[in-house]
Amino acid sequence: MALSFDDFTLCAATADLTDEPDARADADAVEYRLDLAAASGADPLAELDAYDGDLPLLVTNRVDWEGGEADDDAARLDALETAVEHDAVEAVDLELRAFLGEGDHEPERVAEHARANDASVVVSVHDFEGTPLRQDMRGLLGNALEYGDVGKLAVTAADRTDALDLLTVTHEYALEDEPVATMAMGEAGSHTRAVAPVYGSKIGYAPVSPEEATAPGQYDLATLRSLVEELRGE
């Protein structure tokens, strides 16, 4: 069954599926970073085959030109195409830039194969340098939604104005009932990971423990769950 992302979904971000039991108390799903697992010397597809956890998986194999560790575009898409066949995999993350022509291979086949295996498609954009203008963020999320079931945008905030712009765009998409996931990286944007769900962001990411953060400014899993629930009045 595909992850629907109808409501906020908190993902435990990890490169080690043995973290899953520790994530169950606070996470709704696990984001399994195949690229980070491979970089640490593991065989991510073998680990998927051995996975028997309770939480559904969102698989990501982040390419190097989008901040990840995978440097072979064909191989990393092949791995994702195989991964979505696993019963526990209910979503896959693919980069918008790949759909727009970056890299040597097309991601459409992975998206089609994911949907054929009842998995949702998250199409993501990461800006590690700054925060685009509001109209540009709207455009990026709109483009992502053309290809994916959820559009994800992670920017780098220099100040509170950047964070506010991101939250405004998030709110606008929520008013249109369009599923987006947003967050601002860095110290100035760290609070958006807790606040963005209040404005309609559908996915959050957090490591089980702080030292395992996979992006700048992440809260640990239990802290983010607590903050989101308190801010949403749950």
Buried b or exposed e, range 92-116, using 16+ CB within 10 angstroms: bbbbbbbbeeebeeebeebbebbee
Catalytic, 126? Answer yes
Catalytic, 191? Answer no
What is the DSSP annotation of 69-128?
SB--HHHHHHHHHHHTTSTTEEEEEEEHHHHTT-SSS-SHHHHHHHHHTT-EEEEEEE-S
Annotation-wise, does 85 bind a ligand?
Answer: no
Please pick, among 113, 126, 191, 202, the residue that the annotation labels catalytic. Answer: 126
The set of residues, in sequence order, having a beta carbon less than 8 Å from that of 197 and lying 6+ positions away, is 8, 204, 228, 231, 232
Annotation-wise, does 24 bind a ligand?
Answer: no
Could you tell me the sign of the dihedral formed by the alpha carbons of 20, 23, 25, 30, in that order?
negative
Annotation-wise, does 131 bind a ligand?
Answer: no
Annotation-wise, does 225 bind a ligand?
Answer: no
Pair 181, 122: CB distance under 8 Å: yes
Residue type, 25: A
Annotation-wise, does 160 bind a ligand?
Answer: no
Q: How far is CA 137 from the centre of its chain?
A: 17
Annotation-wise, does 31 bind a ligand?
Answer: yes
Q: Residues annotated in the binding site for 3-dehydroquinate, as ranges? A: 31-33, 62, 193, 214, 218
Q: Catalytic amino acids?
A: 126, 152
Q: Residues annotated in the binding site, as ranges? A: 31-33, 62, 193, 214, 218
